[in-house]
Amino acid sequence: MQSRWYHVPRIHSPGHGQEKKVGWLELFYDLIYVATFIQLGNALSYNLSIQGTLAFAGLLVPLWLTWTAFTFYANRFDVDDLTHRALTFVQMFAIGGLAVLVKDVFRGETMRFALVYAAVRLVIVLLYARTYWQQTKARDMTGRFAVGFALGAALWGFSAFLDAPWVYVCWGLAVAIDLGLPLGRATRSLTGRYPPDAAHLSERYGLLTLIVLGESFVKVLTSVSEVGGTMEHAVTGAMGLCIVCSLWWIYFDDVAGSRIKGSYLSAVAWVYAHLPLTIAIVATGVSIKKAVFFELTEIAPEGYRWLLCSSLALVLFSVAAIDAVTERRQSEFGDRYRTATRFASALFVLLLAAAGGALPAWAFFGLVALCCLVQVLLDLLMAPLAADHEMLHEGMQDAFGVGEDMEDTSEEASQPPKRHELRAAVRKGTPSELRRDLYFHLMDGSWWLIFGTLLFLFFLFNGIFAGLYLLEPNSITGGDSGSLSSAFAFSVQTMTTIGYGTLSPGTDYGHVLVTCEAIVGILGTAVATGLMFAKASRPRTSTLFSKPVIVTTFHGKPTLMFRVGNARGNEIVEASISVSALIDEVSPEGHSLRRLRDIKLKRATSPLFVLTWQVLHVLDETSPLFGLSEETLEERLSLMIVSMTGHDATYGQTVHGRTIYYPEAFRFNHRFEDVLSTLEDGRLMVDYDRFHKTIAESSS
């Protein structure tokens, strides 16, 4: 038990089964912020212009940053005494003051707002300063954050005595400091040593999103009830509530149901993507409130039409950004399709804003609501199974814990030797005719490499030909003579064989260049088409190899095991697996050498490989690994190469898969967890969340 009057803040160490729960004070704290967001939204509704929108977003950014700063502090430290509660209440009062002063900023009066916001930041500084003084273990982290936030608070306080535009310059610098503080290498290292509780953070950001969405729901109901809703209001109100419910679904079934990829920068991107998401949801609530009162048979007002569509597009863009740094284990489609779908939907919603100028309000608002409902349908099609929140929190903790460019300083950490792919070997003195070429790089690289290369070449050649056209001013007719833009536009039309009829060659020199460029365009199109087709038609295996290899007793004999899974679930016919081990041997003459020895499997072929395959090798007297033990593993085995081939019934081609196991992948006296089960409707389910997990066997 600890004193409620005073106790030392303790560092919270996240662990399985020890996730931090959201406290009542944190929930109360969130309500004050959402009340301030409501005032910002009201100010936006009365200042619907480019300047008003920028002011709305610009004020919400620092407010969100203070919420995030407090959330991370409460996440990392366990403290709930009188001092902590008093400081929290002081900050809440100051945030309430900001809600009152929001309208002043829209009128250009910034002094009082800057001073009160500086007080808000000062409370964060005091929280970290108090922890620095009382908790010696994490002083390197608390000191860094206290200094960083103090600098931001000082800039806000100093800006109160400046005139425009310098006051906004100071605000921008302070915000840049807050945004950049977590990105520094020192902060990343400290995050690896004192990782936040990812499960708690997921709940905190989810709760804030939930309350902001609920505020949109309340706005619709309140507005309709104030005017005594008609049937038209009931229809538009239902459309607005469908949009809000769809946004809830998208976030809590897609964003909150995904796990962050295992890198620190992915975790930071996940956090920062919630900033535009919050801005967009607040703006969406404002626009829906106005859309409820559209005259259904008239054209929707242009300002609110663009506000609704742009805010929804920003929601989808933000979700796409989060999708890009997360993975969803229950999805039937790759994560890149989720991201591409959200981006494409955002662009479509923006097009609706322009198309709404030719549609009655009921059709425009209905199409917007339908687009949001389609997002829900796509989510169901992509992920028919519910999220496993236990695996989600484990994956998020990996991202917020030790990440790239950081090292684990705990005594228990044992760093395995750094391994490189065999293909990464340095090749010196390779004959010129056998070296890699551009085609090899493009086929071996990603789609982004192909698109980037083709786009670069497209602009490069059009720029070259545009320059050649400019060598003779009258070589192009119908455009501005000597204009680079006209020359470039004519080059694009010529290379792509568009030809709108306005621009044309005007001299013999121009005709010669057009002929040359037409040849380059036709050949370039053929090459790009062939390259894209070759890349798209190349089969890719869906073979998944277990990360560990186990050595255990099976049917009374020592047996080496690993397993293979067909992650895509399509039919691979006549699959075969071969295993070779690189073993250190000494010849009778005393020569030390490494030899590849074939490993005989109990079953090396399978007529149909759809689910999983447990590969077994008995370590008997005929095995090159006979007598292998945990003590002799490093001395005897360098690596083990596994390759699988089979005929993919979907592609109609042979597919290949391979992996390499190093000694650190071997686990002795373990067994694999079962991954196969039967659903209630009789279908088999393969749980790939457990595919790499093993269970230690009892020594008895």
pLDDT at 471 over 80: yes
pLDDT the model gives residue 180: 87
* CATH 2.60.40.1400 residue spans of the chain: 543-696
pLDDT the model gives residue 643: 93
Q: What token pair was written down for 121?
A: 């930041």
pLDDT in tens, 107-116: 888 899 999 9
pLDDT band at 403 (very low <50, low <70, confident <90, very high): very low
- Over range 369-394, report the average pLDDT: 70
Number of other residues whose CB lies within 10 A of the CB of residue 78? 15
Average the pLDDT over each of 2-16, 141-155, 307-321, 431-445 and give the range with the smallest value.
431-445
Among the listed residues 343, 341, 212, 326, the one whose alpha carbon sits nearest the alpha carbon of residue 280: 212
The winner for highest mean pLDDT among 90-94, 229-233, 409-413 is: 90-94
Beta strands (DSSP E) in 619-683 are 637-648, 653-661, 666-668, 670-672, 676-678
pLDDT the model gives residue 64: 92
CATH of 438-537, one of 3.40.50.720, 1.10.287.70, 2.60.120.330, 3.40.449.10: 1.10.287.70
pLDDT band at 416 (very low <50, low <70, confident <90, very high): low
pLDDT band at 266 (very low <50, low <70, confident <90, very high): confident
pLDDT at 407 over 60: no
Among the listed residues 549, 606, 548, 596, the one whose alpha carbon sits nearest the alpha carbon of residue 572: 606
Rounded to the nearest 10 degrees, what angle do helices 50-76 and 82-106 cross at?
170
d(CA 295, CA 298): 5
More confident residue, 210 or 405: 210
* CATH 1.10.287.70 residue spans of the chain: 438-537
State the DSSP code for 697. Answer: P
State the DSSP code for 254. Answer: I
pLDDT the model gives residue 578: 93
The b/e string for 161-193 (b: 16+ C-beta within 10 A; e otherwise) is ebeeeebeebbbebbeebeebbeeeebbbbbbb
Helices (H), 445-503: 447-470, 484-495
d(CA 578, CA 102): 69
Q: CA geometry: angle at 607 spanning 601 and 609, to 5°?
A: 85
- Over range 56-71, report the average pLDDT: 91
- Confirm if 651 and 540 have CB atoms less than 8 A apart: no
Average the pLDDT over each of 2-11, 55-64, 573-582 and give the range with the smallest value.
2-11
pLDDT the model gives residue 540: 74
d(CA 461, CA 464): 5
pLDDT the model gives residue 399: 59
pLDDT the model gives residue 580: 93
User: Which residue is listed with tokens 């009892």?
Assistant: 698
pLDDT the model gives residue 313: 93
- Over range 454-467, report the average pLDDT: 89
- Confirm if 549 and 659 have CB atoms less than 8 A apart: no
| Long-range pairs, 415-422, Cβ under 8 A, ≥24 | 416/664, 417/662, 417/664, 419/662, 422/660
pLDDT the model gives residue 402: 45
The DSSP H or E segment spanning 504 is strand 504-505
pLDDT band at 409 (very low <50, low <70, confident <90, very high): very low
pLDDT in tens, 488-529: 899 999 998 888 888 888 899 989 999 999 999 999 999 999
d(CA 241, CA 238): 5
pLDDT the model gives residue 410: 40
- Residues with Cβ within 8 Å of 599's Cβ and at least 6 positions away in sequence, in order, are 560, 579, 580, 581, 617, 623, 624, 625, 640
pLDDT at 62 over 50: yes
- Over range 24-35, report the average pLDDT: 87
pLDDT in tens, 80-89: 888 888 998 9
pLDDT at 431 over 90: no
pLDDT the model gives residue 413: 42
pLDDT in tens, 335-379: 777 888 888 889 888 888 888 877 888 888 888 999 889 888 887
- Over range 211-239, report the average pLDDT: 78
Quote the CATH superfamily of domain 543-696: G protein-activated inward rectifier potassium channel 1 (2.60.40.1400)
pLDDT in tens, 560-570: 999 999 887 78
Partners of 668 in the beta sheet? 551
pLDDT the model gives residue 288: 86
Percent of the chain's residues with pLDDT above 90:
19
pLDDT the model gives residue 261: 78
d(CA 255, CA 334): 15
pLDDT in tens, 627-681: 888 888 888 888 899 999 998 887 778 888 889 999 989 999 999 999 888 888 8
Calculate the average pLDDT of the chain: 83
More confident residue, 529 or 15: 529
More confident residue, 384 or 183: 183
First to last CA, the chain: 41
Q: What token pair was written down for 527?
A: 């090459």
More confident residue, 183 or 581: 581
pLDDT band at 423 (very low <50, low <70, confident <90, very high): low
The DSSP H or E segment spanning 515 is helix 508-537
